[in-house]
Chains A and B, each alone.
Chain A
Amino acid sequence: MNNMIILPIILPTVAALVMIILRNKIKLHRVLSLVALLSVMAVSVIIISKIRKDGIMSLQLGGWEAPFGVSMVADMFAAILVLVTSVVSICCLIYAFSSIGREREEYYFYPLFLILITGVNGSFLTGDIFNLFVCFEVMLVASYVLISLGGTRAQLRESIKYILINVISSFLFLVAIAYLYAITGTLNLAHLSYRIAEVGQDGLMTTVAILFLIVFSLKAGLFLFFWLPGSYSAPPTAIAAIFAALLTKVGMYAIIRIFTLVFYHEPEVTHLFIGILSAITMLLGAIGAVAFRDIQKVMTYNVVVGVGFILAGLASYSIVGLTGSFYYLVHDMIIKSLIFLLGGTIIHLTGTSKLDKISGLIRLHPALGWMFFIAALSLSGIPPLSGFLGKIFITEGTFTATYYWLGAIGLLTSLMVLYSILKVFMSVFWGYTDLTLDREKGSTKGRMLPIALLTVLTIGLGLGVEGIHEYMDIAVEVLMNPTVYVEAVIGK
């Protein structure tokens, strides 16, 4: 019954292919994409409950046994991320219904959206490093088209840079895979872990590890995030939100997976290096978020801060730090899409992203204002919202690993994040109301539902943490004990 693991990849692909054939039936596109994502959500819930009962599920594609064929592996970490991915993508999809526009819908917006989700789910569930590359490419090719779909000047300009940087990082990925294959002679993640544990991680292997880190850093925006602010502010809101919620997270997932499963023997080199990079990332991102008076810039630099913070937990390489990373990763997927949807709605209403040109919006849109306030508090980790617990655990993890500087920078940047987002809140919602409902550039019709859903989710995740911590613990236990993963896949 492990065949179920493949469903989160198959379902969106098949739905997308059907939609491409029936191009002009936009109503059908909407229904079909919603149904596909809802069924992926249902499947991931079933997978999670099965993993809880029976442990890690693995599937050998085509019946080729583990080190020789391609394995798909669903451990708790991957399965929960698939669930959160489908929840977040459903919200962004509902937002897209009313905001993306007829023209983009006719030019395959929904199929591309689903193929993006296919790539994301595939990256989470694969147990083979070359297959990880392929899933990355599926996701990236869909994102190349999504970022340029519509063809406005800003989109074309930014998409060129986005594609170039990702093409180069994909080549580096292949180079790293080639070196790894030359040294170990295998590509299966579990088998790699087994072989490297057997022969030890020497200097050459650590160099390859750093090469992988550079590749995934480019994708995740860890230190090498120079491409991110431009690319994430060019496309329309629904697309930017799904990018901010998912694309960098897949890079982070890859970093966490590789550096807990394969290259975990030299934490004082690799993990410390990750820690230094994440400290710099947090500082630079927070400075960017504080400096700009532009909603889009503040939001995109906050994505950068989140990347640094999550990987600070990995740098500590302790149970509590990784638990924090996982909590914060889930929280970050939800809150980044929420903030991007809120910011996009504000820009849609006022027609500008400059903070100095917007004020007093709370009189016209009280619900939007309050939800922005909740999102702002959650983003900076105020209890009882969802960011709090992750923040505590990551900080505790860095302290137990005696990286006090890392924890301190994490807390300092949290304050800067709070300042940056409250700056947006105060200048957008407070002050003199110079806009009236009929002079607005657009309406909130159809846009409030997904925002409200995500707001409820961030509150619920904060309050209901008792209910999910058991699952989180199972996930982190596997991350800290790679032999469990290896045994589940190749049975050694």
Chain B
Amino acid sequence: METLMSILVGILFAIGIYLILTKTLLRIILGTSILGHGVNLLIITMGGLKKGGPPLLGITNHSYADSLPQALLLTAIVINFATTALFLVLSYRAYKVLGTDNMELLRGNEDE
């Protein structure tokens, strides 16, 4: 199961990086979003994909799921969500003001 997940993470990373390397701003943001999902899956995979009960006292199980990667994952998702929202709003504003979403034209020149 871990191997399958690793391959999935690899595919998500490949798609994300491909999108980030394109010129359109919106595609780049979608790329970061997909990359973020890849990272989240990686965290959960790295904790070990176990089937088992909750790690609580009083419940007797043979195996427990590791709860720490899940906590990390939640934090990472929230931060990722906030950053993506900010990034989208800012790119819309930049598109309005600068009149383009082509990264080639956003290099900036000396005489502005």
Contacts and interface: CB of A to CB of B under 8 A. Distances in A.
Interface of A: 130, 134, 137, 141, 144-145, 148, 151, 153-154, 156-161, 163-164, 167-168, 170-171, 174-175, 177-179, 181-182, 187, 230
13 contacts: A130-B75, A137-B79, A144-B86, A153-B97, A158-B108, A160-B90, A167-B32, A171-B32, A174-B43, A174-B76, A175-B39, A179-B46, A181-B69
B72 A130 contact: yes
Contacts of B36: 171
Nearest to B72: A130
B47 A157 contact: no
Nearest to A138: B79
B25 A160 contact: yes
A168 B20 contact: yes
B98 interface: yes
A134 B86 contact: no
Nearest to B35: A171
A64 to B, nearest CB: 12
A151 B98 CA distance: 11
Interface of B: 20, 25, 28, 32, 35-36, 39, 42-43, 45-48, 68-69, 72, 75-76, 79, 82-83, 86-87, 90-91, 93-94, 97-98, 106, 108, 112
A144 B35 CA distance: 20
B87 A167 contact: yes
Nearest to B83: A167
A156 B95 CA distance: 9
A460 to B, nearest CB: 39
Tell me the interface secondary structure of chain A in the complex: helix
B70 to A, nearest CB: 12
Contacts of A187: 68
A134 B74 CA distance: 12
Given A130-B72, A163-B87, 19 more contacts: A134-B75, A137-B79, A141-B86, A144-B86, A153-B112, A156-B90, A156-B93, A156-B97, A156-B98, A161-B106, A164-B28, A171-B39, A174-B43, A179-B46, A181-B43, A181-B68, A182-B47, A187-B68, A230-B108
Nearest to A181: B46
Contacts of B43: 174, 177-178, 181
B76 A151 contact: no
A164 B35 CA distance: 12
Nearest to B40: A174
Nearest to B89: A148
A182 B46 contact: yes
* 7 tightest A-B CB contacts, nearest first: A182-B46, A178-B46, A156-B94, A178-B43, A174-B39, A171-B39, A137-B79
Contacts of A157: 94, 98, 106, 108
Nearest to A159: B90
B50 to A, nearest CB: 13
Contacts, number: 86
Contact of B91 (A160, A168, A175, A181): A160
**Taking chain B's interface residues, is the majority helix, strand, or loop, or is none over half, making it mixed?**
helix
A163 to B, nearest CB: 5
A169 to B, nearest CB: 11
Contacts of A134: 75, 79
A184 to B, nearest CB: 11
Contacts of A177: 43, 72
Contacts of A153: 97-98, 112
Contacts of B75: 130, 134
A145 B83 CA distance: 11
A156 B93 CA distance: 8
Contacts of B46: 178-179, 181-182
Nearest to B97: A156
Nearest to A137: B79
A41 B85 CA distance: 34
A182 to B, nearest CB: 4
B32 to A, nearest CB: 5
Contacts of B48: 182
A145 B93 CA distance: 13
Contacts of A168: 20, 32, 35
Nearest to A354: B110
A177 B108 CA distance: 35
A187 B71 CA distance: 12
B42 A178 contact: yes
Contacts of B47: 181-182
Nearest to B17: A168
A181 B66 CA distance: 11
Nearest to A172: B39
A144 B84 CA distance: 12
A168 B39 CA distance: 11
A175 B87 contact: no
Contacts of A164: 20, 28, 32, 87
Given A134-B75, A178-B43, A181-B47, A154 B106 contact: no
Contacts of A154: 108, 112
Contacts of A170: 79, 83
A160 B106 contact: yes
